[in-house]
Amino acid sequence: MMNKIYPHKGDKQTVYLNAVIKDPSIIVGDYTIYNDFVSDPIHFEKNNVLYHYPINRERLIIGKFCSIACGTKLLFNCANHTLKSLSTYTFPLFYDEWNLEKSDVAKAWDNKGDIIIGNDVWIGYEAVIMAGVNIGDGAIIAAHAVVTKDVAPYTIVGGVPARPIRKRFDDGVIQKLETLKWWEWPINKIRQCLPHIINGDIDELLKYQKNEYFKR
């Protein structure tokens, strides 16, 4: 858990997200940031995590080192209207109006599960992530995209509904990155390797990891 809220002194538009989250069903990894130049980013839970009610016991899980842009919305299951009914009207939700059982209220929507976002994911301006979606490590979600299906690791998606545009790297590099999982390293080790990470030098990163292994 981050001990400070703001990565930049004097900048109140960007927060370390797990420093401002209070809901125990929302789990966010260290160094994940949220930027908001319209509203106070401290209110991410209220403004961006929508239809997230306790009745479904659903979770929002976000990994480490993610970058989430202003206006991103995460729409949970209560935003859905069930497609199993002959009507899209949410009769079970208004059980008292229609003399229905309160215990059947969840029949008003289709429950698609948690939203899970991997590590080092970049989510663009005003993107929408729907319930049940799993976004892989290193993926990029384009601005204004509406993500209705899972996104593979290190894949760029965009559009409505979002579709794959291209992979960030070739399959060999992606496999190496998924094996390295640099985001799980101790912070001092990440700091030492920042030149390799920033410059996109996977071979040097692998070499460093190999040397570290043989020092044990």
Q: Active-site residue numbers?
A: 81
Nearest to residue 107, comparing CAs of 150, 128, 77, 135? 77
Distance CA 60, CA 21 (A): 11
Residue 67 phi, psi dihedral angles, 5° rounding: -125, 115
Distance CA 33, CA 46 (A): 16
Longest Cα–Cα distance in the chain = 70
| Cβ–Cβ < 8 Å for 15, 42 | yes
